[in-house]
Structure 1
């Protein structure tokens, strides 16, 4: 209950989620125009890219520079936690 009414006790916290709804709208339109993704992997990829580009836009970062930065980093390998 404390988390639900943060807009009452904190200045600057909206009482609705209109900002999130408006941010998702272009994705919905694009999905409708393109006929959606052809696979679960395609859906996951589209959502991951939309999240990255949306975050960069909110933070006023250059999307091209951020893509280059991400692609120029060596991949991180998952560490194995259990031995066979």
Structure 2
């Protein structure tokens, strides 16, 4: 299990436990089935893999931004000044 899967699993577990606590505190609608049992089943299910290769591949890489003048720019300015 890599770091991001560990975080994803922890967040999923925290959200489901929070919902279970809220259902326990607030109560459930009278016409609904046993929500606590369904939440427990969700906690026990493994997290489905997003792709067969494991981590998703990034298909778009943005162009690098220049953060200042290049050496050629500086040399060009030095040649232009008398």
**TM-score, normalised with respect to structure 1:** 0.28
Which structure has more helix as a fraction of its residues? Answer: 1
Structure scoring higher RCO (CA < 8 A, sep ≥ 6) equals 2
**TM-score, normalised with respect to structure 2:** 0.28
